[in-house]
Amino acid sequence: MALRMVDLIVKKRDGGVHTREEIEFFVQGYVRDEIPDYQASAWCMAVYFQGMTPEETAWLTEAMARSGEMLDLHDVAPFVVDKHSSGGVGDKTTLAVGPIVAAAGLPVGKMSGRGLAHTGGTLDKLESFRGFRTELTFSEFKRQLQEVGLVIAGPTHDLAPADKKLYALRDVTGTVPSVPLIAASIMSKKIATGSDAIVLDVKVGQGAFMKTLPEAERLAQLMVDIGVQLGRRMAAIISDMNQPLGRAVGNALEVKEALATLQGQGPADFTALVETVAGEMLRLGGVAATATEAGRRVTEVVASGAAWQKFREFVVAQGGDPAQVDNPDLLPQARWREPLPSPRSGYVAAIDAYAVGLVTMLLGGGRAKKGDPIDHAVGVVLHKKVGDWVEAGEPLCEIHANDPARLAEAKRRLLDAYAFQETPVSSPPLIHRILTGPSTSTQGVS
Ligand code: URA
C-alpha cells in the first residue's frame, strides 16, 4: 500500500517507530514539496514529544544528507577528519585547531558557517583579514586541500537541502529543541561533506544551545552513535560554555587570540580545549595511537612554529594579507578601547556568556539578520574570568567599540553580566566529558 504522510504523523503521535522506508518517504517528499509544511510541522511536533530511536535518527540523518550532493574528497586526501562545534561565545577553536592538525600531517578541509544569533562564525572571523576569500569553488577547495593541507571555506554545494528546509520550519514551529532532530540536522551536514572521522565539540551552559549536562550528554552520545552507524570514526567533547571561551570575543580580537595560541601564548582554558580537540582529531585520523601521543604532536607543532606557519600559508592561499598574520595589530582596530572598572572588590562568581555574546552583537560584531554587514574590529576582551579576584576599580574587561552610544550601552550590560562573591570560587571544569565510542543503549531519545 502506498505510504501516506498522515499515517506517519499518527504513528509517531502514538509513540510508534518508523521504518527506514517511511523516513525516506518523508524526507524525499518534503524536499520535493509533495508533503506540505503543515504535515511536516505536525510530524516534527510528534517527534518533539515522542522522540526517535537511535536507528530512526540515523536513517533520518542519512536521508537528509542524501537529499543533496554528497561530496567526496578522497582523490585529494586519503582520510578526511572534520570538527564541529555546537556554537558558543568566544569560540575560535577551528582557527587554532585547523593549522595544528594540518601541520601534524592530517589534511583539514572544513566547510564552516557564519555567526548565528549570539554566537560568532568562523567565516566572519577569517574575513577580518584583508582580501580573505571564504567562497571557493569545489575544485579550488580540493586543490588547496591537496597543496596546503588546510582549507576553511563556506559550503561549496547546496549540502543537505532537506535540513535547510526542515530547520527553517522547526524555527517557526517550536520544534528546534528536540535532541534527535538537532542530532540529525548537524550530522546530515557533516556526512554530506564526506568526512571519514568527526570530532564534535558539544557546548553546555548558559551561552550554549544545551543548557544542562545530561542534555548535552544525550545529544553528544546520539551524534556519536549515528556517526558510528554510518561508518564514521567519532569522538565528542562536552565543553563548558557558562562563561566565554578564552578572553577575546569579537571577530578580529578572536583571530588575534588564535594567533597568540598558535605561538604558545593563548589563554589557559582556550589552549586546553584546542589541545583536546586537535588531539582527538589526530587520534581518529591515525596520526597518533593514544591521547598522550597526540598531545605530544600538538605541543611539537606549536613549539616549532609549524602550526603558525601553516596558518600563514592558509591565509595567503585564500587571498588574505600575510602582513596581518605577521603583525596582528594590523587587523581591524576599533576607535574606542575602554576598560570597564569593577564596581566592587570580590571574586568573580559568574560571567554570563550569553550576555557577552549579545553585547558583541550590539557593538556591531554580529548580525541581527542574514546578510547584515558586520564590524570586524569590535568586541570585548575579558581581563577577569570566573574564580579571579578583582579589586574595586580594576578593569573587568576592555570594550572595543566604534560607536559611543553603543559603547555606553555595552558597559551597562557587561556590568550586569558579571556576578561577584566574597568567598573564593573554584573555576568551573572546561571539559566535562569525552565520548569516544558508541553507547550500548537502544532506547528512544526525546
Ligand atoms: N545546529 C544545527 O545545525 N541544527 C540544529 O538543529 C541545531 C543547531
Neighbour tally for 342: CB within 10 Å: 21
Alpha-carbon distances, residue 330 vs 85, 128, 136, 327, 374 (angstroms): 28, 10, 25, 6, 18
| Closest residue CA from atom 3 of ligand 1 | 186
What residue spans in the chain does CATH classification 1.20.970.10 cover?
Answer: 5-51
Q: 182: CA distance to ligand 1 center in Å?
A: 5
Q: 360: CA distance to ligand 1 center in Å?
A: 22
Position 170 scores a pLDDT of 93
| pLDDT 10s digits, 319-333 | 999 999 999 999 999
Mutate to test the pocket of ligand 1, among 118, 186, 187, 201 (most ligand atoms within 8 A of CB): 186
Q: State which fold the 333-421 domain adopts.
A: Aldehyde Oxidoreductase; domain 3 (3.90.1170)
| Closest residue CA from atom 1 of ligand 1 | 186
Read off the DSSP letter of residue 76: T
All residues at 6 or more sequence positions from 36 whose CB lies less than 8 Å from its CB, including other chains: none
Buried b (16+ CB within 10 A) or exposed e, 35-63: beeebbbbbbbbbbebbbebbbbbbbbbb
Q: Do the Cβ atoms of 336 and 389 come closer than 8 Å?
A: no
Q: What does the alpha-carbon distance between residue 415 and residue 435 come to, in Å, rounded to a whole number? A: 37
What residue spans in the chain does CATH classification 3.40.1030.10 cover?
Answer: 81-327
- Helix, strand, or coil here: 34? coil
Q: What does the alpha-carbon distance between residue 33 and residue 56 come to, in Å, rounded to a whole number? A: 22
Domain 81-327 annotated CATH 3.40.50.2000? no
| Closest residue CA from atom 2 of ligand 1 | 186
- Helix, strand, or coil here: 129? coil
Mutate to test the pocket of ligand 1, among 119, 182, 223 (most ligand atoms within 8 A of CB): 182
Q: What does the alpha-carbon distance between residue 318 and residue 153 come to, in Å, rounded to a whole number? A: 9
Q: What is the side-by-side strand order in the sheet with 81-85? A: 81-85, 197-204, 233-240, 431-435
CA 234 to chain CA mean position, Å: 16
What residue spans in the chain does CATH classification 3.90.1170.30 cover?
Answer: 333-421
Domain 5-51 annotated CATH 1.20.970.10? yes
- Closest by CA to 98, choosing from 88, 84, 86, 87, is 84
| pLDDT 10s digits, 109-120 | 999 887 766 777
Grid coordinates of 32: 520535493
Q: Do the Cβ atoms of 190 and 71 come closer than 8 Å?
A: no
List the beta strands (DSSP E) in 86-232: 108-111, 150-153, 197-204
Pocket of ligand 1 (CB under 6 A): 167, 176, 182, 185-186, 209
Alpha-carbon distances, residue 326 vs 117, 166, 241, 256, 263 (angstroms): 31, 43, 31, 11, 12
Grid coordinates of 215: 542534555
| Closest residue CA from atom 6 of ligand 1 | 182
Position 367 scores a pLDDT of 83
Q: What does the alpha-carbon distance between residue 303 and residue 371 come to, in Å, rounded to a whole number? A: 39
pTM for the full model?
A: 0.93
Q: What does the alpha-carbon distance between residue 348 and residue 382 come to, in Å, rounded to a whole number? A: 12
Grid coordinates of 230: 554510518
Residues in the chain where the model's pLDDT stays below 50:
441-442
Q: Do the Cβ atoms of 348 and 420 come closer than 8 Å?
A: yes
Q: What does the alpha-carbon distance between residue 16 and residue 57 come to, in Å, rounded to a whole number? A: 14
Cell 584583508 belongs to 130
Q: Do the Cβ atoms of 103 and 281 come closer than 8 Å?
A: no
Q: What does the alpha-carbon distance between residue 385 and residue 6 come to, in Å, rounded to a whole number? A: 53
Grid coordinates of 321: 594579507
Q: 292: CA distance to ligand 1 center in Å?
A: 32
Catalytic residues: 84, 163, 170, 185, 189
Position 442 scores a pLDDT of 46
Q: What does the alpha-carbon distance between residue 240 and residue 217 come to, in Å, rounded to a whole number? A: 12
Q: 84: CA distance to ligand 1 center in Å?
A: 11
Dihedral of CA atoms 62, 74, 93, 400 in degrees, nearest 10, equals -100
Phi-psi region at 142: left, alpha or beta (left = phi > 0; alpha = psi -120 to 50): alpha
